[in-house]
Structure 1
């Protein structure tokens, strides 16, 4: 009978070791996950840019000296639409109404490019906002050539003509 008891004890060793390992692993799991600094469902996060990362004050000089070298031809507007889809849609939305999926998280919300306010801006002002950024909008100076930025200006103008 002592051999039987020895075999029975040996069979319990893996179970005991498994229990000890499980206790060690569970002891290492933090319980802090119940208190998370995350957003609650249906709660919009406050996404503000880091300080001094986006210019929100002042104006670039030489606004009046800036003139579009690109005529608003159908080809230019189409090129602007293509670039807008790549660089602007995520914030301004497909029709430029400021309702893009990423832009909904920003405070303030992206501009509605079909609005009278935006459409009354000069071409040079829109060009400089694309170039240097404005409020939560980043600068696209390094991403787009001046010619491409003017195509986007022409496309933004066409949004006001078409009514979005």
Structure 2
């Protein structure tokens, strides 16, 4: 056997061991104690002003930031039926299927305090949760939150709309159905 080959063959286990030592660097497990820092913790508190990677940095408007169209209302109804109606009911009265199974009833959207609440209130509740309601920020994107807010406003309006507020063709149709 050649001497160079024999030397390489003998050094191979030593080199492999060196590589493994480099892969297994000393490190701390999450929340493990550490003598390196004065507070004894290995986990560090983020610097003041640190922003999460997925944080929404644009300011949130106080009102629905786009025109309320049928497409927006249809999207809002679809999202409302998926995420909100199990507790709030399909009409926003607070008697959804979960409530019928014993969960505490949320407030009705048709009470005066919520009819007067700004659009931003509903957006913030969807985003952050409120009371027994948990946050939907991870489940409902901001555009869909605004669509849900628009649909909630349509539900609120539907309970208080007067026939005189309807366009003439709809009033005629309503009157014809009422006389039948």
TM-score, normalising length: structure 1: 0.56
Q: Which residue of 1 aligns with 2:15?
A: none
Q: Which residue of 1 aligns with 2:38?
A: none
Q: For the residues of structure 2 that align with 1:94 and 1:68, how far apart are their CA atoms?
A: 21
Q: Specify every segment of 5 or more residues in structure 2 that has no aligned partner in the other structure, as ranges.
A: 1-58, 161-180
Q: For the residues of structure 2 that align with 1:141 and 1:99, how far apart are their CA atoms?
A: 23
1:80-121: per-residue Cα shift (whole Å, max 9, x none)?
Answer: 0010000011100111100012134333x2121122221110
CA contact (8 A) 2:64 2:150 kept: no
Q: For the residues of structure 2 that align with 1:141 and 1:91, how far apart are their CA atoms?
A: 17
Q: Which residue of 1 aligns with 2:134?
A: 138
CA contact (8 A) 1:91 1:98 kept: yes
1:97 paired to 2:93: yes
The list of structure 1 runs, each at least 4 consecutive aligned residues, that deviate by more than 6 angstroms after superposition, is none
CA contact (8 A) 2:63 2:118 kept: no
TM-score, normalising length: structure 2: 0.52
1:162 paired to 2:174: no
Q: Specify every segment of 5 or more residues in structure 1 that has no aligned partner in the other structure, as ranges.
A: 1-62
CA contact (8 A) 1:70 1:147 kept: no
1:72 paired to 2:85: no
Q: For the residues of structure 2 that align with 1:65 and 1:146, how far apart are their CA atoms?
A: 11
2:97 aligns to what SS in structure 1?
A: coil
CA-based RMSD of the aligned residues comes to: 2.0
**Distance verdict in 2 for CA 1:90–1:65, change over 3 Å:** closer
Higher relative contact order (CA 8 A, sep 6+): 1
**Distance verdict in 2 for CA 1:89–1:64, change over 3 Å:** closer
Question: How many residue pairs are counted as aligned between the two chains?
Answer: 101
